[in-house]
Chain A
Amino acid sequence: MANYESSDNKLKISYPRIIVDIVSILAKGVDTRGNKIPLHNLEHYYQMRKSDTISTSAIASQVPISTATAASIKSIESNGKKEEPTLNRDEESELVEVLDKITDRGKKDIQKSIAKLDRRDIERIKDLCKNYNKLQKYSKLITDADNLQEFKTALENETGRKLSSHQLQRAANSIRKAKLYMENVLDGKFIPHGSYGINHTKHNLEYGYLIVRLMQPSKRRTMSTTTKERT
């Protein structure tokens, strides 16, 4: 809310809707589409709604959400999946190289898997691979230090802000499972659950990467793409 005025216009348009959904969850435990959301997941839900609005707004803005159903939400998602991947040849070979190191799969297998991914997943994996060195460094700290103090200091120096113990735990958990995350994305194992169409395990792990900036939020990515397009 602090950045509301400077927010993307598409997000501003959808903000009332997100707020009503949050109010509905607080009052009834379900959003206005009837999806049951546990209260402990409310912050994550809120963040996801914001990032989903940015990434699907071009299509979603044309759909009156009062009549949105699971089918229409799914069609929004699948429309997103039809977008062309944004990797050029160099980027792809770099990505395959790193994924080969991490997953120990054949390069051809990795290329096949990447070809099946949607643009957003490719961007997410690309972010993690770009930060592979950091990922290794943090993994080592978590394993060696046996307490989170050194890990915390390293992360705070890197991000330039204080992290709560909850954020630290979330980040550590995501970093520990980075290999698993990438393998599951490559294999398409994160199957969306419920009518809202997200996989909570996947999104929880991504939240951990976002906290420590191993992954870029969709909003920032969209903005930088727009800026690139303009220049």
Chain B
Amino acid sequence: MGIVKAIKLVHDYYKYDESGHVEGTYRALDNVELDIEAGQFIAVLGHNGSGKSTLAKHINALLFPTEGALWLDGMNTTEEEDIWKIRQKAGMVFQNPDNQIIGTVVEEDVGFGPENMGIPTDDIWQRVNESLEAVGMTAYRHHSPNKLSGGQKQRVAIAGVMAMHPKCIILDEPTAMLDPNGRKEVLRAVKELNEKEGITVVLITHYMEEVVNADKVFVMDQGKVVMQGTPREVFSRVEELKSYRLDVPQVTLLAYELKQAGVKIPAGILTTEELVNALCQ
């Protein structure tokens, strides 16, 4: 079993009328099957309302299946006694950097998670040191979080998750509110965690360029996984992606257009380098 495994996962949201009776349901996840191997870098794409965030919240037991099941590191999320273990093994980072920082000093914020877990003080400090180092924020450890840039705040949020020693980290559009530099910083930090620490990454994003290095991409639409494969496989299906309100990176689109116009280049080009090499042989 992989680190995240879902079988026939269904999630219904209920709408209640004023007297508390169920008025209607909305199926946000519809028979989702997932099997993510430990250590992979996974990207999830999908338009607004396609079910990405609902899926993310199932991975660390913030939501529970209406039908089907999801296991995190072998633990079923509906087993109540495992909930805290699950939330510690699978950490979440959300979109808005200002909504997830609680400490008044960077290092205190990062130490909040392990402190709540009852880790001895000396170990907390060691975890704080390692986590800040891992995201490149050691220099700011004594700073006040509200004076940091968006990208720096997100890295602090990631360090806070890291300090809980998770096996898996789920990032729900972590770069949506950041400028280009902030985006680069955060992605670099995430990639390093994946490569150096071997942490499984699930990255939800609307920026297609951010997923070209992923091991696997899932595309969601109306609560279903409608496409999956390597970035190359997924991004070579330009028209299909567009039908799901998505896009491809500019370089992939350019290569696709050139190919349509009769230029002999391979399908599914993902990087500038690949395109340049294909054109300048």
Determine if chain A interacts with chain B: no
Interface of B toward A, CB cutoff 8 Å: none
Which A residues contact B (CB, under 8 angstroms)?
none
